[in-house]
Each structure stands twice: as C-alpha cells, then as structure tokens.
Amino acid sequence: MPKIKDKKTLADIQQQIDGFPKREIKKVGIRGVQVPLSVIRRDGTVNQSSGNVSIYTNLSEEVKGANMSRYRIVAEEYLIDKNLNLREYLRELLKATRERLGATDSYVKIKFDYFMINEAPASKLKSYMNYKCCIEGKQKVIENDNIIEDIYLTVQVPYTSLCPCSKEISDYGAHNQRSFADVKVKLIQGQMCWIEDIIDVVVNNASAPIINGLKREDEAYQTEQMYENPRFVEDMVRLVAESLDEHYLDKIISDYSVVVNHEESIHLHNATAIITAGRELQ
C-alpha cells in the first residue's frame, strides 16, 4: 500500500542548481487546461461556457524546473466559480502566476465559446449563436519593478456574404457563402472593449448576419438583405477596418488585425483578405 509522505521529507528535483544547461527558458508551463468559465456580457448577463487555458512563465537559467502543479492551481483559483470581467481577471491571473512561480514574465491564453441570443428579423424567433473567442496576455517585470503588460482579444464572427460580381453578371440570382472575420485587438489599459463591440462591427458591415433560428418569412428577409448588400472579401475587410478606425482605435484599442475568409460556394478554396492598423499586429 502506498503511504502518504511528509512533503518536507521529499526531494524537490526542480530546485536543483547543478547538472543542467544554464540557459533561460522563455516560456514553460501547461496548456490544454479545461475549466468551467463564466464571462460577464455587455448587458450584465453571464455567459456560461468552458475555457481552454494555456499558462506559462519564463524560467531563470539558475533553476532546473518549474513547479508544474502551481500553474493549474493558480488558473483554477482565479477562473472557477467567478463571474468574470475577463480583462481584469486576466491581469490578476498574470500577476499571481508571476508571483507564485517566482518569475519575471507570465503568459496566459484562454479560448472559449461566447453565446449570444439572436433574434430573427421577421418572426422574432430567438436562437443561440456561439462565437469563438480568445483573450491572451503577457506581463514582464523590467527595471525598478515596472511592469510591461499587453492584452489581446480575438473574436471570430460568422456572417453571410453575397458576391457582387455574381450579382452583376447574372440575369437572376447570385452566389453567397458562409464567411468569417477573425478580429484581434490590443486593449488599452483602463478601457473596456466588449466582445459584442467586435461582433457589431462585423455584422453591421456584412451582407447579412447568420442567425441559427429562421422561419420562412425570416429566410425570405435574409435572402433579400444579402442581395441588397453584396460584399467582396476586399470590401468586407476594408469596411471592418474603417469602423474600427472611426469608433475604437486609440479610444479603447491601440492596434488590430482583421482576417476575413469567404468560404466560396462555387469553388473549393476560400477567398481571404487581411488588413491591420499598420502597427505591431501584422
């Protein structure tokens, strides 16, 4: 039978200082940590989901190994059983990770599904839509205990696009496709960029939104809305960038990148366009 041993009597191999190459490791930690996650929405309600967490620190050249159990402990402590404003909790998690692991640098990435209720245009039928999201950040202690911090939010927004060329050259009809905009923004400290802000920017510039629950009258409305608002992939990425420039850049975000994919209905390839604010994110 195994026996429970006193921690004080067990060797701590990670803390050895001899017999290994003396080189700093930029990132060491764990990934694929699944946790229940409750995220506050813009309207004050709570999104119940699960998070896929990656959490790392740097490791000094004088230390053999990191205490791997601490990464999981601190992630669960800061993320489970809380209604999170993810931006603020990420900052606290980054700080706690550095301190618990005795590191100068910390990195956290959390991927999760964000559920919203959408309303059909005619019948007003309500249905759920999920958006793939990721919030990630890093902290680094520099001279005089000053901290450099960067936090990024990425939201993948599905929508429908209708081809302007197809509409123009055809006697009737036009092909359309399911499309996705992956919008990554760098957040300004002290400001709040909601996931819904990013969703609104994309959907308001699309041929039409994707809504999961539609009756016949809704489908008719959606089809005509798409036809009246044709979008090339180039149109879409420029329109999203324009909206970000006008309403958010240097107000609540300091940088962005937008990757748009139109899953072509008459080809086996996607049409893709990428645009940035021309700063750090490229």
In this prediction, residues 227-251 reach a mean pLDDT of 97
Residue 278 CB burial class (10 angstroms; 0-12, 13-18, ≥19): exposed
172 vs 166, 177, 185, 230, CA distance in Å?
Answer: 9, 17, 40, 14
State the pTM of this model: 0.91
Question: Contact, 187 vs 151, CB < 8 A?
Answer: yes
220: pLDDT confidence band, cut at 50, 70 and 90? very high
**Alpha carbon 47 to its chain's center:** 15
Between 87 and 156, where is the model more confident?
Answer: 156
Is the pLDDT at 163 greater than 70? The verdict is yes
Is the pLDDT at 12 greater than 90? The verdict is no
Give the class (CATH, top level) of 22-276: alpha beta
Q: What are the boundaries of each domain within the chain?
A: 22-276
Percent of the chain with pLDDT over 70: 95
Instruction: Show contacts of 92-99: CB within 8 Å, 24+ apart.
Output: 93/55, 94/137, 94/138, 94/139, 94/149, 95/139, 97/55, 97/57, 97/71, 98/57, 98/139, 98/141
CA 163 to CA 225: how far, in whole Å?
Answer: 13
Could you report the per-residue pLDDT of 136-148, keeping only the tens digit for each? 999 999 888 899 9
Could you report the per-residue pLDDT of 78-107, keeping only the tens digit for each? 999 887 787 788 999 999 999 999 999 999
In this prediction, residues 111-116 reach a mean pLDDT of 96
Q: Taking the alpha carbons of 169, 173, 175, 177 in that order, is the dihedral positive or negative?
A: positive
Is the pLDDT at 8 greater than 80? The verdict is no
Is the pLDDT at 212 greater than 70? The verdict is yes
Instruction: Write down the mean pLDDT value for the chain.
Output: 92
